[in-house]
Structure formats: C-alpha cells, structure tokens
C-alpha cells in the first residue's frame, strides 16, 4: 500500500516514462539509504508534509477514516492527527530504502526487538504472526528474518508496476529463508508452505471485499474483515502471535514487539474471533494512532443497502 502511495505521488502512469521513472525512483531510494537515519527521517517528514498538501485523494481518505474512528475528537485534533500521519507516511516511503538496501549489521542496530521473537523456532505447531498495518510493517517483516531462523512465508499485493514489484520482492526476500505469494493467486502454495513448517506473516486488517469476510465492528463501524486468520489457524493447528512495529521519533530506529500468543484464539467461532481481533487492533491503534495506515479505504466495502463512505 505504501508503495502504491509513492507511485500515486510520482504519477508514474504514462507507459513511455513509467519504466525510466521507476528505475530513477529506486536509484533515489538507494542513494537516500546512505544517509544517517536522523537526516533521512527529517527528509521523510518533509516529504510527508508535501504529500499532505498535494496528495488530495489520499488525504481525503485519511480524513474520512479518522472522522469515522474518532468522532468524539474535536475537528482540529483530527486534522492534526492526519497531518502527523502524513509525516510518518513520508518517512516510511523514504526509509524503505534502508530495508531494501542496508546491510544486516546496520539494520540490527536500528531495529529494537522486544518479546519472544523465537517462538516460531521452538513451537511444535506452525506459528501465525498477526501484523497490523502500521507504518513500520515492513520493518516487522525484516525483523522476522534477521532475529530468528524459522523459515517464513507471507502474501503480498502484486504491484501493477513491474519494476516496483520486482523491487518489493527482492527487498522482502533478501534475508533469511522466506517465500511470498501474490494475494491474487491460489492459496494452495501458501498452505503447502505452512504445512511444511514455515511461519506465516499475516496482515489481517485490510478491506479485500465481502468474499470470505464478515462485517464486524472496527471502531464501531461495520468493516469487511477476513475470517481467514481464525479459520486458517484452526484448520492448521497454528499458534497465533501478534507482532506490532513502530517507528521511533528522532531517527532513533524502530521497535518491533513480539507479543504473547492470543489466548483462546482460534476458537470454534470464526466471527467471534474476528471481532476480538479487531478489538485488539483498535487498542494498538489507540496507543499509536498517527502511525496506522489511514490512507487505506478500510471501509470501502459496505453491508448491503448502506451508502458508500468515500
């Protein structure tokens, strides 16, 4: 999703210039990763402020989401949250070069891991890492490869831009033993990977439509939410470990928290599990609201008969 925002901002849509501009953007990310993180963080915040002014469609999505989720907040406080969010978004875009190009020693200095990062290595059952869409989401992915040895797998949204799609794949697979599968493909290769013993890096909080989903509350708004985390964990006998990543202020690096496995998850009620999962994500968002991915149309799919929100 953050890559798509970058493409929107750079307007890489003309076929004659897309490939050249894409390579130029990746070259810029490579050059920027050489900067000290405090300098890169300052530059990213500046880019975020520019995005806030120029990326009108994304800003409107964020404003709508924040108004829906925090109706009790004064308008000025919601506007300030959206502005801060774009600063973190700008950082996440530019600092992606660190994750894609920096050496492992530098990344270990910058990524501070808390909790039981080695659970998947010790568990006799396959482990599902549940990772909500905070700005440092990809940092969590890097941490699972740098700080533990269990082979991993995940799904990703294939990019329409072939150059960026290749960069995403290369960046996410360069450490450890990992496989990633396009979300648009069959789930069978993913299931085979999990059954072979790979831990599953799962992103549970995006709107992929009504198929295989239930409308359950997310900040008291019915939100189409996939039932797959509960169903898959139950079918494969998985342990479910939440993982939350955040970007630290002032260029101090990142924190990735490997939390205790969710109690009583999964149960025999996938809808109840999904309600509980959304409540947990809400609590984490309230801890760090500006770094959640507000530019995603989380409420795009509406229950039958309800009007669009965007």
Q: Write out pLDDT tens, residues 42-81.
A: 999 999 999 999 999 999 999 999 999 999 999 999 999 9
Side by side, the strands of the sheet bearing 199-202 are 111-115, 254-258, 239-247, 127-130, 199-202, 152-156, 178-182
Within-domain flag for 64? yes
- What Cα–Cα distance (Å) separates residue 217 from each residue in 52, 59, 277? 28, 23, 10
Q: Which helix (H) or strand (E) holds 243?
A: strand 239-247
Within-domain flag for 164? yes
Within-domain flag for 298? no
Count structural domains, the chain.
1
Q: Write out pLDDT tens, residues 147-184.
A: 999 999 999 888 888 888 899 899 999 998 999 999 88
In terms of Cα–Cα distance, which of 72, 78, 172, 178 is closest to 120? 178
> Which residues constitute the domain of residue 60?
2-291
Give CA–CA dist 181/169, Å, rounded: 10
Within-domain flag for 308? no
Percent of the chain with pLDDT over 70: 95
Q: Helix or strand or coil: residue 272?
A: helix
**pLDDT value of residue 19:** 78
Which residues are CB-neighbours of 128 under 8 A, at least 6 positions away?
Answer: 199, 200, 202, 229, 232, 233, 238, 239, 240, 241
Within-domain flag for 307? no
Within-domain flag for 300? no
Give CA–CA dist 241/205, Å, rounded: 15
Does the pLDDT of residue 17 top 70, yes or no?
A: no
Q: Helix or strand or coil: residue 255?
A: strand
Instruction: Say if CB 215 and CB 224 are below 8 A apart.
Output: yes
Q: Write out pLDDT tens, residues 249-291.
A: 989 999 999 999 998 999 999 999 999 999 999 999 999 999 9
Which residues are CB-neighbours of 235 under 8 A, at least 6 positions away?
Answer: none
Strand partners, 76: none
Place of tokens 């970007």: 247
Q: Write out pLDDT tens, residues 210-242.
A: 999 999 999 999 999 999 999 999 999 999 999
In terms of Cα–Cα distance, which of 80, 82, 142 is closest to 117? 142
In terms of Cα–Cα distance, which of 290, 260, 271, 269 is closest to 213? 271
Within-domain flag for 159? yes
Within-domain flag for 302? no
């Amino acid at each position: 999703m953050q890559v798509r925002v970058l493409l929107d901002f750079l307007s890489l849509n003309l076929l004659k210039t897309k490939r050249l501009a894409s390579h130029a953007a990746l070259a810029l990310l490579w050059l920027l990763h050489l900067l000290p993180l405090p300098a890169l963080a300052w530059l990213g915040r500046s880019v975020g402020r520019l995005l806030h002014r120029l990326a009108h469609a994304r800003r409107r999505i964020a404003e709508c989401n924040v108004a829906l989720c925090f109706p009790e907040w004064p308008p000025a406080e919601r506007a300030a949250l959206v502005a801060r969010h774009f600063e973190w978004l700008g950082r996440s875009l530019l600092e992606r070069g660190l994750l894609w190009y920096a050496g492992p020693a530098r990344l270990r200095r910058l990524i501070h891991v808390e909790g039981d990062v080695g659970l998947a290595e010790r568990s006799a059952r396959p482990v599902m890492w549940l990772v909500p869409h905070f700005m440092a989401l990809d940092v969590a992915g890097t941490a699972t490869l740098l700080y533990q040895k269990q082979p991993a797998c995940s799904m990703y949204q294939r990019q329409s831009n072939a150059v960026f799609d290749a960069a995403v794949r290369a960046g996410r697979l360069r450490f450890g033993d990992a496989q990633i599968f396009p979300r648009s493909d069959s789930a069978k290769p993913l299931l085979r990977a999990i059954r072979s013993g790979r831990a599953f890096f799962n992103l549970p909080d995006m709107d992929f439509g009504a198929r295989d989903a239930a409308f359950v509350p997310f900040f008291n708004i019915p939100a189409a939410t996939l039932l797959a985390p509960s169903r898959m964990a139950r079918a494969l006998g998985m342990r479910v470990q939440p993982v939350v990543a955040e970007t630290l202020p002032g260029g101090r690096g990142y924190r990735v928290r490997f939390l205790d496995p969710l109690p009583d998850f999964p149960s025999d009620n996938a809808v109840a599990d999904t309600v509980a999962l959304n409540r947990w994500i809400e609590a984490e968002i309230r801890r760090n609201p500006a770094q959640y991915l507000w530019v995603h149309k989380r409420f795009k799919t509406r229950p039958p008969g309800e009007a669009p929100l965007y």
